[in-house]
Amino acid sequence: MGRWPGALPLLLVLTPAACIYDADERCGADQVYEDGQCVCADGFGLSGQECLPCADNEVSNPTGPCECAQGLIRLAAGEPCTEALGQPCTSDEECPSANFAHCRLEAESGYCTQQDCAVGGGDCPGDYACNDRTDPSFCERPPTGLGTECSSDEDCAGFEAAYCEVVAEHMCLLEGCATDPGICHGDWVCCDIGLISASLCIPPDELTDGACPVGGTLVPR
């Protein structure tokens, strides 16, 4: 009989199992290994450090947030994908959506939008705004970059809305409307605000009894 009866079974219990490498488990949850890196699996998109499932009308993105399916757009960050409002077009025939079947032409190109809106009626989604200065009226698209979070004008560089309002909202806005208030889209109004030495396009619900905020002057179209 050996010197340590039962020692072998005990040794087997106490000895840790050897590590087994599994190439399929080298990445985190909902990830796959491709081209030397871990990326989000099909049906998921990257949000921060996590791969999250894509919502309805979204398609997966291995290295970024889920994207809208073809023919759909996201009107603002965090909002669901919707019909192709704003889709490039040259004629109404290129706007298949029943809700946004009008091609609003500007110069040599245009975008799909909605006709026959009412100012203040809530007809236009997102930052689109109703322009009733034409017949028929239509939902006019906002300047690029409008509402983007910013801390300086550098954050708004390259946008049409290239001015960073840092006093209250910290967002990119369209500036310089005092000389041409018509650059304000839809029913947005122009306020010449001496306090910040800038004239800004703002939504009409920002007015107080028809007056611009912080003592600004309303510039008529």
Residues 213 and 191 both lie in one domain: yes
Decide: residue 107, CB within 10 A, 0-12 exposed, 13-18 middle, 19+ buried: exposed
- 59-64's contacts with Cβ under 8 Å and 24+ in sequence apart are 62/32, 62/34, 63/39
For residue 6, is pLDDT > 50? Answer: no
Q: How far is it, in rounded angstroms, from Cα 165 to Cα 153? A: 8
Average pLDDT of the chain is 85
Choice between 77 and 155, residue whose per-residue pLDDT is larger: 155
Q: Range of 91's domain? A: 81-140
Neighbours of 166 (CB within 10 A): 14
Q: Is residue 57 part of a domain?
A: yes
Per the domain annotation, does 2 fall within a domain?
no
Helix/strand/coil percentages in the chain, nearest 5: 15, 30, 55
Least confidently predicted of 3-17, 18-32, 130-144:
3-17
Tell whether 146 is covered by a domain: no
Same-domain check for residues 177 and 207: yes
Q: What percent of the chain has pLDDT over 70?
A: 87
pLDDT at 24: 54
Q: How many domains does the chain have?
A: 3
121 in a structural domain = yes
> Is residue 169 situated within a structural domain?
yes
Torsion of CA 152, 154, 156, 157, to 10 degrees: 160
Bond into 5 cis (ω within 30): no
Q: How many angstroms separate the CA atoms of 35 and 169, rounded?
A: 42
Q: Is residue 22 part of a domain?
A: no
For residue 91, being part of any structural domain is answered with: yes
Which of 29, 74, 41 has its CA nearest to residue 56? Answer: 74
Query: Average of pLDDT values for 84-107?
Result: 87
Pair 101, 53 in one domain? no
Which residue from 68, 71, 70, 49 is spatially nearest to 60, judged by alpha carbons? 68
Residue 19's pLDDT is what? Answer: 45
148 in any annotated domain: no
